[in-house]
Amino acid sequence: MSTLDIETATVAFGRNRDAVTAVDDVSLSVPSGTVLGLVGESGSGKSTLARAVAGLQPLTGGRILVDGIDIRDRAHRHGRKVQMVFQDPYTSLNPRMNVGASLAEVVRANGSAGPAGVDHAVAALLDNVRLSTATAAKYPGQLSGGMRQRVAVARALAARPRILIADEITSALDASVQSAVLNLVRDIHRELGLTILFISHNLAVVRYLADATAVMYRGRIVEQGPSHDVITAPRHDYTRRLIGSLPTPGEFGDPSRSPVTHPGP
């Protein structure tokens, strides 16, 4: 798939005294086909960084490369290579469009299927996110939160991205649904081999999915490495505090079990 490199990225809002450096000199590398988990408390800059990677937020400094090419390089038409799924699926789905039409819109815009192939592509996308073909006729308001989030994931996949950013995609869901959506992300990663930036304030969730974990604190990456190392030998005080709030291994430690049986802190 694609490698993502974030090089000394900085995003500042406002000017002078009111300036907030939301992302402060961040460098991260996500090798092709791997999952990087990004954790950090509220306001640490995770979403701002994610939006920058998705091309939705200009950088004040530094650069972001996909397969070695700056995302600002228009000649390469990065556009749809990076897709983002947000916490609240309501913001990404048009309530007046049924699921089938909403997916077909992206399939057509992407030119990835001929006229005869659109229905087929929509059915395949629904299958990717484990929704029945009957879901195509439903409107977002008729779906549960978990199903809506599956549709949002399908819509991102419809653009055939190489890099998927998931920004707190389970945070607004009931605990019982969270693990199903996490398992879906894991399955999609296995099936499609996407490079994934998975953002959560919940280290337990990140541990479940991510090959590597980065910890963000006040705009900076204070720790990064293989998830196992970060969790078993944290170097930063903030990471230790995050680990302190993890459920005990007996409750949670078996990776074959679902990661979220209780709501996170």
Q: Which is nearer to Mg ion, 10 or 110 (CB)?
A: 10
- Rule CB under 6 A: which residues touch ligand ATP? 13, 20, 22, 40, 42-48, 201
- Nearest CA to 111 out of 77, 136, 142, 84 is that of 77
The CA-atom distances, in angstroms, between 114 and each of 108, 111, 122 are 8, 7, 12
Name the binder of 22 from ligand ATP, Mg ion, none, CB < 5-8 A by kind.
ligand ATP
Q: Which is nearer to Mg ion, 47 or 179 (CB)?
A: 47
Residue 20: phi and psi, rounded to 5, are: -120, 125
Name the binder of 195 from Mg ion, ligand ATP, none, CB < 5-8 A by kind.
none
CB-based closest residue to Mg ion: 47
CA dist 106 and 198 (Å) reads 23
CA angle 19, 21, 27 (to 5 degrees): 160
Q: How far is the CB of 147 from ligand ATP (least distance, A)?
A: 23
Q: Which is nearer to ligand ATP, 4 or 126 (CB)?
A: 4
Q: Is 83 in the site for Mg ion (CB under 5 A)?
A: no
Name the binder of 42 from ligand ATP, Mg ion, none, CB < 5-8 A by kind.
ligand ATP
Write the CB contacts of 108 (distance below 8 Å, at least 6 apart in sequence). 118
Q: Which is nearer to Mg ion, 22 or 104 (CB)?
A: 22
Name the binder of 155 from Mg ion, ligand ATP, none, CB < 5-8 A by kind.
none
CA dist 130 and 154 (Å) reads 10
Q: Which is nearer to Mg ion, 44 or 224 (CB)?
A: 44
- According to CB under 5 A, which residues from 32 to 71 bind Mg ion? 47
- According to CB under 5 A, which residues from 85 to 144 bind Mg ion? none
Name the binder of 215 from ligand ATP, Mg ion, none, CB < 5-8 A by kind.
none
Q: How far is the CB of 204 from ligand ATP (least distance, A)?
A: 15
Q: How far is the CB of 121 from ligand ATP (least distance, A)?
A: 32
Q: Which is nearer to ligand ATP, 39 or 125 (CB)?
A: 39
Q: How far is the CB of 90 from ligand ATP (least distance, A)?
A: 16
The CA-atom distances, in angstroms, between 214 and each of 47, 66, 148, 221 are 14, 19, 28, 7
- Interacting residues with Mg ion (CB under 5 A): 47
